[in-house]
């Protein structure tokens, strides 16, 4: 398939964009990556995602698909001959979708809450929330992996992608706060899984290095601190 | 093995109604367990320990929670009368609009217009109107969001067909006027009156009481800050 028929609008630091890239890599799909600039949105982005104006957007044969997990499912279904991303059994699929929704609705907000927390008490509360989430996810990992390396079993799948995309930012949070959030003693399954996920062929080229991401985080937080209050 | 299907719900939850409709459309027999969320049953806590919320579907002893997760499970398990389209792009669009319905439409109306007043309510109205306009455009050339017959997005947005007029009464303003939203207005009537849908609406007077109480409580809380 010609490369220009598949475009991905995104940015290298975004975990949500990473989800789409991992899915495309699993299926060995060639695509054109359009890097959006921080602080501005391209005309193509505004036209392709008029509802949210956000990345990632996958454009396949000029048809845009938005929302990272919807893109991952689309890639799985549109390229059905490649390795499967979602499990085949309907109940296993439901469990994977349930935990992916938990990660987006509850767990990720606790991680981004840590970045926004002001003061020691607020930071500690946010860290506790992240760790509590990991305890739940450790249990989910045990049930889904059934003793294998990944939530998806022998290969990475939907739920691995849904959680694993945040490992870069998790490590930045740990570094900037001088704490361990993913603790091998408390959540050994997840700790082992994290290393294997980051080393996976579909992941390693699109997972940003922690140092580079930390530098970016500093620029981002500085920009937000300097920005005027949003106009109403 | 005989199928055992149970649905844990409340009398009022619009999210649980999605599951009722889906099961009826597919002709699946099921048992209903009504929950009182101020006094949750041990079964609910066992089946949904993470969120402790309804709806929860239990199929042959295995629980599934989160209404869109349940809908997709139902569609994949009972394959007659499909809810999602076959084409991957159309499926992605259906999932997109369902998510938009919850993230934006529901939030701007229930967490915005309903529970605010004055300038804050006006601002929430502007956002709600923008969101409803996206839905109006999505209905162009179609009777239902699913096309000729009810599909996934209709079930996802179905709460609008009944709850809008209740909220208009409670909040004292017009949200979906026929002049501004002719397609959405027509869809609301068609959906609400469809067989398998129309017999399952919650009692209107009880809903008005419930949402009036919610609005009063939220306004009181905001005023006391």
Over chain B, what is the mean pLDDT? 96
Strand, helix or coil for residue B148: coil
Whether A2 and chain B come into contact, CB under 8 Å, resolves to no
pLDDT band of B225, cuts 50, 70, 90: confident
Helix, strand, coil percentages for chain A (3-state, nearest 5)? 55, 10, 35
Task: Tell me whether residues A74 and B123 touch, CB distance under 8 A.
Answer: no
Helix (H, G, I), strand (E, B) or coil at A112: helix
What CA–CA distance (Å, rounded) separates A63 from B48?
A: 38
Q: What is the rounded distance in angstroms from the CA atom of residue B49 to the CA atom of residue B127? A: 34
What are the pLDDT digits (tens) for B111-148?
999 999 999 999 999 999 999 999 999 999 999 999 99
All residues of chain A having their beta carbon less than 8 Å from the beta carbon of residue B70 are 94
- Confidence bin at A3 (pLDDT 50/70/90): very low
Compute the distance between CA of residue B180 and CA of residue B188 in angstroms, rounded to an integer: 14
Give me the percent of chain B exceeding a pLDDT of 90.
96
Please determine, for residue A1, whether its predicted confidence score (pLDDT) is greater than 70. no
- Using the beta-carbon criterion (under 8 Å), do A70 and B92 form an inter-chain contact? yes
A224: pLDDT strictly greater than 80:
no
What pLDDT is stored for residue A171 in this prediction?
97
B88-223 maps to which CATH number? 1.20.1050.10
pLDDT band, very low/low/confident/very high, at A227 (cuts 50, 70, 90): confident
Q: Which residues of B touch A101 (CB under 8 A)?
A: 66, 68-69
Report the pLDDT averaged over residues A54-77: 98
Give me the interface pTM, i.e. the ipTM.
0.96
Give the residue-averaged pLDDT of A200-209: 97
Per-residue pLDDT, averaged over A146-174, amounts to 97
CATH class, A90-215 region: mainly alpha
Q: Rounded CA gap, A11 and A108, in Å?
A: 18
A70–B99 CB contact, under 8 Å = yes
Domains in chain A: boundaries: 3-78, 90-215
Among A67, A98, A232, the residue with its CB nearest the CB of B65 is A98
According to the model, what pLDDT value does residue B3 have?
A: 86
Q: Does A109 touch chain B (CB under 8 A)?
A: no
Cα radius of gyration (chain A): 18
Beta strands B5-9 and B31-34, pairing class:
parallel
The beta-carbon neighbor of B89 closest among A63, A94, A97 is A63
pLDDT at A230: 62
Residues contacting A60, CB < 8 A, separation 6+:
A5, A6, A74, A78, B89
Q: Pick the residue of B63, B67, B69, B93 with the most A CBs within 10 A to test the interface with A by mutation.
A: B69
Task: Inspect the interface and report whether the beta carbons of A67 and B99 lie closer than 8 Å.
Answer: yes
pLDDT per position as a tens digit, B188-211: 999 999 999 999 999 999 999 999
Residues of B in contact with A51 (CB under 8 A): 100, 104, 134
Q: What pLDDT score does A38 carry?
A: 85
Taking CA atoms, A25 is separated from A19, A96, A106, A204, B128, in Å, by 10, 20, 27, 10, 38
Place of tokens 């217009």: B113
Go through chain B and tell me how many residues it has: 225
Which band of pLDDT confidence, cut at 50, 70 and 90, is reported for residue A225? confident
Give me the total of CB pairs closer than 8 Å, taking one residue from chain A and one from chain B: 58
Q: Provide the residue ranges of all domains of chain B, joining segments of one domain with +.
A: 5-77, 88-223
pLDDT, tens digit (0-9, with 9 covering 90-100), for B208-217: 999 999 999 9
In CATH terms, the fold of domain A3-78 is Glutaredoxin (3.40.30)
Residues within 8 A of B (CB atoms), A 36-75 only: 51, 60, 63, 65-67, 70-71, 73-74
Closest-CA residue of chain B to A139: B50
Closest CA to B154 of A78, B133, B162: B162
Chain A residue numbers touching B92 (CB-CB < 8 A): 65, 70-71, 73-74
Strand order in the sheet with B56-59: B31-34, B5-9, B56-59, B62-65
* Smallest Cα distance from A44 to chain B, Å: 19
State which CATH number among 3.90.1150.10, 3.40.30.10, 3.40.50.300, 3.30.1330.10 fits the domain covering B5-77.
3.40.30.10
pLDDT at A231: 54
Residue B179: is its pLDDT beyond 70?
yes
E strands present in chain A: 6-10, 32-35, 57-60, 63-66
């Amino acid at each position: 398939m010609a490369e220009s028929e598949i475009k991905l609008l995104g940015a290298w630091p975004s975990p949500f964009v990473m989800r789409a890239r991992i899915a495309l890599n699993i299926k060995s799909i060639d695509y054109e990556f359009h890097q959006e600039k921080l602080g501005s949105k391209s005309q193509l982005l505004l036209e392709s995602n008029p509802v949210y104006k956000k990345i990632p957007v996958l454009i396949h044969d000029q048809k845009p698909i938005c929302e990272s997990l919807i893109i991952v499912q689309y890639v799985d279904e549109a390229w059905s001959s490649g390795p499967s991303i979602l499990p085949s059994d309907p109940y296993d699929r439901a469990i994977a979708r349930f935990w992916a929704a938990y990660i987006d609705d509850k767990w990720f907000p606790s991680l981004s809450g840590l970045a926004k927390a002001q003061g020691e008490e607020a930071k500690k509360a946010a860290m506790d929330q992240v760790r509590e989430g990991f305890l739940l996810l450790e249990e989910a990992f045990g049930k889904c992996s059934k003793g294998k390396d990944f939530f998806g079993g022998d290969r990475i799948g939907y739920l691995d992608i849904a959680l694993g995309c945040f490992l870069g930012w998790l490590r930045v949070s740990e570094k900037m706060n001088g704490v361990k959030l993913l603790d091998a003693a408390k959540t050994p399954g997840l700790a082992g899984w994290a290393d294997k996920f980051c080393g996976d062929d579909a992941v390693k080229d699109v997972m940003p290095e922690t140092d580079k991401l930390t530098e970016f985080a500093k620029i981002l937080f500085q920009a937000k601190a300097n920005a005027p209050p949003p106009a109403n | 093995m005989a199928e055992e299907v149970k649905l844990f719900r409340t009398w009022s939850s619009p999210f649980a109604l999605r599951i009722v409709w889906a099961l009826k459309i597919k002709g699946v027999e099921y048992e209903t367990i009504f929950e009182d969320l101020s006094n949750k049953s041990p079964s609910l806590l066992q089946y949904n320990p993470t969120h402790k919320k309804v709806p929860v579907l239990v199929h042959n002893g295995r629980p599934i929670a989160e209404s869109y997760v349940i809908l997709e499970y139902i569609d994949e398990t009972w394959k007659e009368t499909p809810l999602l389209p076959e084409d991957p792009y159309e499926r992605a669009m259906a999932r997109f609009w369902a998510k938009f319905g919850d993230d934006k439409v529901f939030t701007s109306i229930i967490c915005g217009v309903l529970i605010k007043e004055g300038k804050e309510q006006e601002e929430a109205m502007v956002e709600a109107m923008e969101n409803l306009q996206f839905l109006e455009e999505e209905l162009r050339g179609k009777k239902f969001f699913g096309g000729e017959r009810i599909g996934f997005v209709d079930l996802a947005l179905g709460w609008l067909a009944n709850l809008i007029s209740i909220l208009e009464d409670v909040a004292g303003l017009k949200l979906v006027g026929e002049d501004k939203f002719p397609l959405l207005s027509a869809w609301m009537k068609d959906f609400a009156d469809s067989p398998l849908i129309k017999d399952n609406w919650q009692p209107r007077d009880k809903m008005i009481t419930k949402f009036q109480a919610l609005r009063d409580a939220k306004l009181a809380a905001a005023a006391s800050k």
